[in-house]
Amino acid sequence: MQLSLSWIQFTVDVMSSVDAQILLVGDELLAGELADANGPWFAERLTEAGFRVSAIRILPDEHAAIRDAVLQAVRSASLVVVAGGLGPTSDDLTTEAIADAFGLSLQLDEAQWERIRNLFRVMRGNEPPPGNEKQATIPAGATTIPNGNGTALGYLIEHEGALVGVLPGPPRENRPMFSDELLPRVLERLELPKPEPTRLFRTFGLAESVVAERLSGVEAQFPQLRIAYQFKFPEILVKLRVPAGERAAAEEAATAIEAKLAPHVYGHGEVTLPAVLGRELAARGLRIATAESCTAGLAAKLLTDAAGSSQWFDRGMVVYTNRAKREWLGVSRELLEQDGAVSEPVCEAMVAGLLERSDADVAFAISGIAGPGGGTPDKPVGTVCFGWGDRRRIHTDTRQFHWDREYNRLISAWVACWHIREMIVQS
């Protein structure tokens, strides 16, 4: 069965005059057998470098489809990044298609072929099969991009003023090739207006529509900037994109964003709420302990994902049953029978018992009904109770979530971290 030229295109409105396009090759991407990990990654790096990424296309493993897409891309973009289809098998057709598109012959890079042969000798003890020779074959006139993590050779080629960079599909291989070799070479040859770094504000506790509503005045005040929103459960990311020469406006806009979204902006850049909580604890010399029922240790896991967490994380207890709550945390049988495990009094008792049995300065407890079953008319699925506090005072709260089991557990872990962070920041 012949696949037609199928592609997915995304238009990104960033302020740059130099266009780039990304072509991703692979039937497995079109069939949904493999999630694309390359397009967004390349797009983000190109945008940071000053390009306007005008399209991301997914192509089948078809000679004609790849050839035609490359020819179309070089007519409208100064840079085309192609990833995939450089393997040794019969369905890896990228290099042949690009050579055909530009009317070039193919040539074997003898040095790279010898490198591949040496890899096989060292790793497998034999010579590579003849099919691997195509991985060292590139269009005439192309310059090679070495691959330190695989056998497929990358290359850069120019056609009628446009640059085409060709990389293998696996991210483990193509990301260092892109960052260390391809992008620096491209930037040497193209003059790009260098944009200011994108400002990233991480918010929690507000719906995306509410965030956008609060910032509508900021968007109107600074039309030369662009504010973008991304729902990344369970948080909302706000991205302030800044063209070259607009640093002063960016600083003013950033201040306005912080004020409009206070106190829901918890961090900036590549950081998450549990990691921010860890920093706050470390800065104050505090240690935390956790007691979890429905989240089954997820909150402790998120907190200890950060390197150095042993400095401020004391212990985490998973107390799924009533018996565990009684034996490990001293929650009374009477309280459990009277109020139920999913209740604020029980969470308060869990925190008190945890602080009594640990060296922690602060602690939180989570008990709820994550779903999909287990709910009652009084406590439907998604009911989650929280307790948090220190040795002076314990607070409690109940939330009603309406997600699936996975999201109910994740947002519960984040809410617990949020409560503790608010408490220690405000104290």
Read off the amino acid at residue 65: A
Q: What is the pTM of this model?
A: 0.74
Tokens encoding 228? 């973008």
The reply to whether 287 falls in a domain is yes
Q: Please tell me whether residues 127 and 48 are part of one structural domain.
A: yes
Domain boundary among 268, 293, 312: 268
Cβ atoms of 12 and 43 closer than 8 Å: yes
> Among candidates 381, 387, 396, which has minimal Cα distance to 363?
387
Under the phi-then-psi rule, with left for phi > 0, alpha for psi from -120 to 50, and beta for the rest, what region is 285?
Answer: left
pLDDT in tens, the chain (427 residues): 333 333 333 333 333 468 999 999 999 999 999 999 999 999 999 988 889 999 999 999 999 999 999 999 999 999 999 999 999 999 999 999 999 999 999 999 888 888 888 888 887 778 888 778 888 899 999 999 999 998 899 999 999 999 999 999 999 999 999 999 999 999 999 878 777 888 999 999 999 999 999 999 999 999 999 999 999 999 999 999 888 789 999 999 999 999 999 999 999 998 999 999 999 999 999 999 999 999 999 999 999 998 899 999 999 999 999 999 999 999 999 999 999 999 999 999 999 999 999 999 999 999 999 999 999 999 999 999 999 999 999 999 999 999 999 999 999 999 999 999 999 999 8
The reply to whether 390 falls in a domain is yes
Cβ atoms of 417 and 274 closer than 8 Å: yes
Distance between CA 145 and CA 167 in Å, rounded? 8
The reply to whether 97 falls in a domain is yes
Q: Please tell me whether residues 248 and 304 are part of one structural domain.
A: no
The reply to whether 386 falls in a domain is yes
Q: Please tell me whether residues 183 and 45 are part of one structural domain.
A: yes
Domain boundary among 139, 154, 189: 189
Only one residue has tokens 């770094």, namely 197
The H-assigned helical ranges of 202-246 are 208-214, 216-221
Q: What is the DSSP letter of 51?
A: -
The reply to whether 342 falls in a domain is yes
Q: Please tell me whether residues 27 and 172 are part of one structural domain.
A: yes
Q: Please tell me whether residues 168 and 86 are part of one structural domain.
A: yes
Q: CATH number, domain at 351?
A: 3.90.950.20
Number of domains in the chain: 3
Q: Please tell me whether residues 32 and 174 are part of one structural domain.
A: yes
Distance between CA 406 and CA 232 in Å, rounded? 14
The reply to whether 202 falls in a domain is yes
Q: CATH number, domain at 133?
A: 3.40.980.10
Domain span at 249: 196-268
Q: Please tell me whether residues 73 and 157 are part of one structural domain.
A: yes
Distance between CA 378 and CA 318 in Å, rounded? 25
> Among candidates 192, 178, 142, 177, which has minimal Cα distance to 163?
142
Distance between CA 294 and CA 312 in Å, rounded? 23
